A and B are shown apart, each in its own frame.
Chain A
Amino acid sequence: MKTTYVSSNAINQALRYSMLRMQADLTKSQKEMSTLRVADVGLALGSRTGLSVSLNRDVARLNSLMDSNALASSRLASTQTALGQLADRGEDLRVTLAAALSGNADPGVVRDDGSAMIEAMTAILNTSINGEYLFAGINTDAQPIADFSDPASPNRVAFDQAFFNRFGFNQDDPAAANITKAQMEAFIDTDVVPLFTGAAWSDWSSASDQPIVSRIGLNETTETSVSANISGVRKLAMAAVLSGRLMSGNFNEGAIAAVVERSLGFVAEGVAEVTDQRSATGVAETRIKNATTRIEMQVDLFERNIGDLEGVDPYEASTRVTALMTQIETSYSLTARLQQLSLLNYLP
């Protein structure tokens, strides 16, 4: 009689193999249940592992962009405040000059206001944060504006020299009383203006024309600083210097009128241009804000994708652990029973 044959060794081995598999699965499932992430990303995703690495890396990159955007935003906010102060001071000077033009003001008041304006401008434009000068363009380690109130300062020397070259005496010389309105206008238009608009501006400013450029998105860069060399600043400086230095008591009325007229023109243009710059700065601020919002959304999306790729359903993981444990326990008791199941135990 031939029956299906089973060897004792095969019975033991079969249980052992399935036992090993279940125990390996159990450790894997336990890990997944506690981390809520697949136990081995490479084995779970195979050739899609690169995608998961790339997503994780992009999330880190985007987060670093958000950090640097915060830095650029704070720089722009400081710039915005400083430009606002500059425009306010310019506006104050304009009011004084307008009053002087209508003949109501003492030239001394205008002069004091002009000098104060020069000092305030220097202080505002030399603002620094984190050791970097705000208005220096990319040349952030050098103080951008030279101090005009210091008689030895190159911009002060250049201005006084220009006056002397034109008239042959200094502002406080008695002969200054003879300067006519036309002479003064000619001096301002041909000698003073180039000091501020031409290459001589380097006596005033060591700032770079190039503003700081920052990356605000993975494929987006924008200018995130304002240079002290913008035309609005130059005009305000010119108005302040004219009213601060050319309002000496020695000048006659015609010369003073020329100075006041020209100063008023420059200050009005300067305030308008600085205000334009403020709105441009506001646009940059908005761009960064929008970019940051976009990045936040991208990070959310990427994290969701990562979750879809690597995540494990906690409910499923815990059911699997429970099921495996039950199976293993069954297997244990089965082994114990099988070991007893021997003819030997029944023989007398």
Chain B
Amino acid sequence: MSLSTALNIAQSALLATSRQTSIVSRNVTNASNPDYNRRLSMLQSDAPGVHMVSIQRAADMSLFRANLGAVSSYEGQASLRTAIEAMTQAVNGIDSASSPATAIGDLYEALQFYAANPSNASIAERAIDAARQVVRSLNNGAAAVNAARSQADRNIAESVADLNGLLAEFKTANDAVISATIGGRDASDALDKRDALLKRISEHIPISTITRDNNDMVITTTSGATLFETIPREVSFQAKLVYGATTVGNQVMVDGVPLPVGTGGDTNSAGRIAGYLQIRDQIAPTFQAQLDEIARGLISAFAETDQSGGALPARAGLFTWSGGPGLPAAGTVSPGLAGSISTNAAMDSTVGGNAFVLRDGGANGAAYVANTSGAASYSALLLGYQAKLDEPMAFDGSAGAGVSASVMTYSTNSISWLEGIRKSADQAELAKSALVARTSEALSNATGVNVDQELALLLELEHSYGASARLLKTVDEMLGTLLALAD
């Protein structure tokens, strides 16, 4: 009896060893798969001498959660930083070279030359050209800001579509986990797949998870809206194709609850969608308002005043706008002004105007002519415009770049505002990417595969396999000896 028992035990040992070997080979194959969790083979003694191999999956829920959180904040920060960077470059150019501030500085210089040579037609044209440059810079800036907003809007739509797809996939993975758990089968592969999906979902939106009976998982956003419970909940978003200065974008609804928007350059927006929402609804509109204020400042600095003593209202001079020749309301943002500002046709020779009108006044009729004698070297108006550019005026505080400053200073304040956000976004991105790297490393260390260890295990298994085989052979020899005795 005992010899056949020994034979049985050796046989089951061989079986157990080969199963363990298969697990080792699976681990080694997936050594570089970041979504793979190491499998551990557990030997259990059932009946005396009989070994069962059960598979355990290495997991560390708290590290996994920390990693999901880090991924969310990093993705939110990175999407914000990228969008700010693109917008800064489109509006202000490299080192602020094409910013309104620089263009206004050039205009000031051109006015200086014009005031020094008021009779020179080509220098007058150069001043008008500098004004055209300012207009271009503001028009392009306004267009770039709108483009940044509609780009963010499109990105949100893509992200939402992706997210809905991922949630649908998540249902399949979750169902597989539940059925494996109920059926008592090995759920490791299904769990790997489900965890990988969670990582991808957290790139779009910050999540927290709750595990229920039978490994069923519920996903909610960190703000509490349900994303998945047995079935995926709907994430809905209505994209807008075109953005203007007054366009208000639609909210992203998760299960009927709007997704909150974060604040700050080192943003508390987590997940890509929140990052895009922040650029679309906060940063770009504020910057747009600043450009509008710069445009308003320019229009009022170059306004023509009544010279006839008839108390006529001031009218738009060198710079005018879609609502001209009246001036935009003082002290408050006129949305879309940066997009509609233009040079006055009366002074622009490309549309039949005369650059000397800037020197003499009178774009709005004879009452506004300051140089009544038509003297060729009249410079008083030009000197006045120059001084106006440096004179403090009232700006709308809601635009966030100060309330009282000269147009010159306000335009550089706006650069400071944007670059300040960009700098803190860039630094925060660095910190957050380091956190992702660190938590991924910790997670990988806790749940990943070490090839060396697996190889060592393989050596061990080889020996145990050899020993079991030797045992079989010995028992076989012993049985042979026994049978030979019986002959």
A residues at B contact (CB < 8 Å): 5-10, 12-14, 17, 41-51, 53-54, 57, 60-61, 64-65, 67-68, 71-72, 130-132, 136-142, 208, 210, 212-215, 218-219, 221, 225, 342-344, 347
Contact present for A57 and B105 (CB under 8 Å): yes
Contact present for B445 and A7 (CB under 8 Å): yes
Identify the interface centre among A7, A48, A67: most chain B CB within 10 Å of its CB: A7
Which residues, 402 to 434 on B, are CB-close (under 8 Å) to A? Answer: 408-409, 412-417, 419-420, 422-424, 426, 434
Contact present for B419 and A47 (CB under 8 Å): yes
**Cβ 8 A contact of A41, one of B95, B113, B409, B434:** B95
Contact present for A8 and B448 (CB under 8 Å): yes
Contact present for A51 and B412 (CB under 8 Å): yes
Contact present for A208 and B423 (CB under 8 Å): no
Closest 5 CB pairs of A and B: A7-B448, A47-B420, A50-B416, A46-B423, A57-B105
Give the complex CA separation of A347 and B102 in angstroms: 68
Number of interface residues of B (CB under 8 A): 65
Closest partner residue, chain B, to A63 (CB atom): B109
Shortest distance from the beta carbon of B294 to any chain A beta carbon, whole Å: 12
Shortest distance from the beta carbon of B431 to any chain A beta carbon, whole Å: 12
Can you list 5 A-B contacts (CB < 8 A)? A5-B445, A6-B445, A42-B419, A47-B419, A53-B102
Which A residues are in CB contact (< 8 Å) with B448?
7-10
Q: Is the interface of A mostly helix, strand, loop or mixed?
A: helix
Which residues, 430 to 465 on B, are CB-close (under 8 Å) to A? Answer: 434, 437, 440-441, 444-453, 455-456, 459
Digit string of B93-107 for contact with A (CB within 8 Å is 1, else 0)? 001100101101110
Contact present for B116 and A213 (CB under 8 Å): no
Give the complex CA separation of A130 and B116 in angstroms: 12
Give the complex CA separation of A215 and B381 in angstroms: 12
Identify the interface centre among A47, A130, A213: most chain B CB within 10 Å of its CB: A47
Contact present for A61 and B376 (CB under 8 Å): no
Which A residues are in CB contact (< 8 Å) with B13?
none
Q: Does B378 contact A (CB under 8 A)?
A: yes
**Cβ 8 A contact of A215, one of B99, B101, B115, B409:** B115
Which B residues are in CB contact (< 8 Å) with A43?
419, 422-423, 426
Which A residues are in CB contact (< 8 Å) with B99?
53
Give the complex CA separation of A193 and B456 in angstroms: 123
Q: Does B325 contact A (CB under 8 A)?
A: no
Contact present for B386 and A347 (CB under 8 Å): no
Q: Does B31 contact A (CB under 8 A)?
A: yes
Closest partner residue, chain B, to A225 (CB atom): B377
Q: Does B108 contact A (CB under 8 A)?
A: yes
**Cβ 8 A contact of B96, one of A47, A49, A218:** A49
Digit string of B382-409 for contact with A (CB within 8 Å is 1, else 0)? 0100110010000000000000000011
Contact present for B413 and A50 (CB under 8 Å): yes
Identify the interface centre among A12, A71, A343: most chain B CB within 10 Å of its CB: A343
Contact present for B437 and A14 (CB under 8 Å): yes
Q: Does B375 contact A (CB under 8 A)?
A: yes
Q: Name 6 extra pairs, CB < 8 A, besides A7-B38, A212-B379.
A: A43-B426, A49-B419, A50-B415, A61-B112, A140-B376, A140-B377
Known interface pairs A47-B417, A50-B413; A213-B102 also in contact (CB < 8 Å): no
**Cβ 8 A contact of A9, one of B390, B434, B449:** B449
Contact present for A215 and B419 (CB under 8 Å): no
Q: Does B32 contact A (CB under 8 A)?
A: yes
Which A residues are in CB contact (< 8 Å) with B43?
none
Give the complex CA separation of A64 and B445 in angstroms: 64
**Cβ 8 A contact of A53, one of B96, B422, B445:** B96
Known interface pairs A50-B415, A68-B112, A141-B119; A10-B423 also in contact (CB < 8 Å): no
Give the complex CA separation of A219 and B445 in angstroms: 67
Which residues, 36 to 57 on B, are CB-close (under 8 Å) to A? Answer: 38
Contact present for B441 and A221 (CB under 8 Å): no
Q: Does B467 contact A (CB under 8 A)?
A: no
Contact present for A139 and B379 (CB under 8 Å): no
Q: Does B34 contact A (CB under 8 A)?
A: yes
Digit string of B340-372 for contact with A (CB within 8 Å is 1, else 0)? 000000000000000000000000000000000
Give the complex CA separation of A342 and B422 in angstroms: 44
Identify the interface centre among B104, B377, B455: most chain A CB within 10 Å of its CB: B377
